[in-house]
Structure 1
Amino acid sequence: MPDKRLELSDAVASIKSGMTIGIGGWGSRRKPMAFVRELLRTDVKDLTVVSLGGPDVGLLVAAGKVKKLIYGFVTLDSIPLDPLFTAARERGELELQEYDEGMFVTGLRAGAARLSFLPTLAGIGSDVLPANKHLKTVKSPYSDDEYVAVPAIRMDVALIHVNRADAAGNVQFLGPDPYFDDLYAMAADRTFVSTEKIVPTENLLDEGSYHTLMLSRMYVTGVIETPRGAHFTTCEPDYGRDEVFQKHYAASAKDPAAWDAFTAEFLAGDEAAFHAAVERFHAEKEKANV
């Protein structure tokens, strides 16, 4: 089997302005945040981002990287809304294609199956249809039923974060939910996977059953070992969400001066510098609470 291990910077260097990228995970859960932070360090812009969004969307929008967003929601889970995305939306800075979750996943399924669209009942009778003028309905050839014809969502690149992978790109999740990451990979021309740990292929079942093997290597372009690569979102069971840091992120995002300070402290350096800054942040918090 080919060795698909890469450096984080090499994977992100293949992402060019104007591309459509899919970002796996869900809200503030198992987001490929190391990839997102690496994208912030580039001059890439005008991206179309496909995401069930969380801080990934907020950070990329705030950095001026996103032209269009195809999404079902943008939430921090324990904090209902991401303030960076909310502010950009209120300013009218983004082209938005907002679906309900059922329609969003139907679009991913169509893209994964290499179909131009798939029919769904999701969205019928809702405000999603008038808000998305491009959507059409289709009649069933077998009954009088009518469905929403959701166009396929295809991506140039998909970015996902998982618990374990081998060097060939066989991918394992150990948490409660795959969050449709497999569909992102199958609907993308290329997929890069960050993982908490790269393990020998023969050890992939040490911590989980066969059913936790989310993706075959055939869908994976490159794999990068990035411990705590989902921080500050969850990566159960390896770690939960860093709620203290997330609150700091959300509070900072609401004030321009505070956000400039946050960016300088946490986002100005490389990935190692980010994690060192987070450690200092928590140490100062603990010291202040003594």
Structure 2
Amino acid sequence: MSDKTMSLEDFAATIESGMTIGIGGWGSRRKPMALVRALLRTDVRDLTVVSLGGPDVGLLCAAGKVRRLVYGFVSLDSIALDPHFRAARQNGAIETAEYDEGMFVAGLQAAAQRLSFLPTRAGLASDVLTMNPSLRTVASPYDDEEYVAMPALRMDVALIHLNRADAAGNGQYLGPDPYFDDLYAMAADRCYLSCEEIVPTDRLLKDAPVQSLLVRRMYVTGVIEAPQGAHFTSCVPDYDRDETFQKEYAAAAKDPGAWRRFEETYLRGDESGYHAAVAGRQAAQSGTDVRSV
């Protein structure tokens, strides 16, 4: 099996302006935040982002990198809406296509199966069709039913984060929910998988059942080891969402000066600098010497 390991910097160098980027995870849960932060350090622009969104979408909107957003929701879970997304949506700074969650998943499934669309009942007789006038319905060839013809959500690149992977790109989740990361991987031309730990292949099934192997290596272009790579979202069972940090993020987003300070503290350096700043913040709050964190 080929070794697909790479650095965050090498990953970021493969992304070009104007691409369609799918981002796995769900809300503020198991988001590939290290990959998103790597994109923030580049000059890519005009991205189309496909996501059941959380702070991944918010940060990219705040950096002015999003031209169009395709989404089912953009939530921080314990905070209803990501504030940067809210501002971009209200100000008309981005184009949007908002779908019912069932429609969104149907679009991922269609793309994963290399179909142009899939029929679904989700969205029928709703304002989703009004707000997305390009959507069409289709008559069943077998009975009198009518369905929404949900177009495939094809992507140039998918970004996902899992608990473990091997160097070849076999990815494993250990938490309670796979979300739809496998569909993102199959629906994209290329998939980059970050993980908490890269392990030998034979270790993947040592402590977990075979059904935890969510992503097959054939769909993965590159593997990036990124401990705490989903922070500040959760990556259960490795860690829960950092609620204190998330509150700081959301509060800073409400004031331009506070946001500049947040960016300077956490987002101007590399990934190791980000984690050092987070550790320093945690140490200051707990009264611990940062050198011992």
Give 2:163's aligned amino acid: N
1:203-218 paired onto structure 2 within 5 Å: 203-218=203-218
Q: Provide the C-alpha distance between the structure 2 equivalents of 1:23 and 1:152, rounded to a whole number of angstroms.
A: 16
Identity %: 68
**TM-score scaled by length of structure 1:** 0.98
Aligned to 1:24: 24
Output the aligned Cα RMSD: 0.8
Query: Which string of whole-angstrom CA distances, capped at 9 and with x for unpartnered residues, describes residues 98-147 of structure 1?
Result: 00100000000000000000000000111100000110000000111100
Q: Provide the C-alpha distance between the structure 2 equivalents of 1:176 and 1:99, rounded to a whole number of angstroms.
A: 25
CA contact (8 A) 1:120 1:150 kept: yes
Aligned to 1:94: 94
For residue 71 of structure 2, give the secondary structure of its aligned residue in structure 1: strand
Q: Provide the C-alpha distance between the structure 2 equivalents of 1:215 and 1:279, rounded to a whole number of angstroms.
A: 31
Count residues in correspondence.
Answer: 288
Q: What are structure 2's unaligned runs of at least 5 residues?
A: 289-293
Q: Provide the C-alpha distance between the structure 2 equivalents of 1:238 and 1:206, rounded to a whole number of angstroms.
A: 17
In the TM superposition, what is the alpha-carbon distance from 1:285 to its structure 2 partner? Answer: 1.7
Query: Which string of whole-angstrom CA distances, capped at 9 and with x for unpartnered residues, describes residues 80-108 of structure 1?
Result: 11001101111011100000100000000
CA contact (8 A) 1:174 1:207 kept: no
Aligned to 2:122: 122
Aligned to 1:280: 280
CA contact (8 A) 1:71 1:97 kept: yes
Q: Which consecutive segments of 4 or more residues in structure 1 shift more than 2 A?
A: none
**TM-score scaled by length of structure 2:** 0.97
In the TM superposition, what is the alpha-carbon distance from 1:286 to its structure 2 partner? Answer: 2.0
Q: What are structure 1's unaligned runs of at least 5 residues?
A: none
Aligned to 2:262: 262
Query: Which string of whole-angstrom CA distances, capped at 9 and with x for unpartnered residues, describes residues 129-180 of structure 1?
Result: 0000110000000111100000001000000000000011011000111110
Q: Provide the C-alpha distance between the structure 2 equivalents of 1:48 and 1:101, rounded to a whole number of angstroms.
A: 18
Aligned to 2:74: 74
Aligned to 1:35: 35
Give 1:140's aligned amino acid: S
1:24-173 paired onto structure 2 within 5 Å: 24-173=24-173
For residue 39 of structure 1, give the secondary structure of its aligned residue in structure 2: helix
Q: Provide the C-alpha distance between the structure 2 equivalents of 1:267 and 1:11, rounded to a whole number of angstroms.
A: 18
For residue 104 of structure 2, give the secondary structure of its aligned residue in structure 1: helix
Give 1:268's aligned amino acid: R
Query: Which string of whole-angstrom CA distances, capped at 9 and with x for unpartnered residues, describes residues 186-226 of structure 1?
Result: 00000000000000001101231000000110000010110
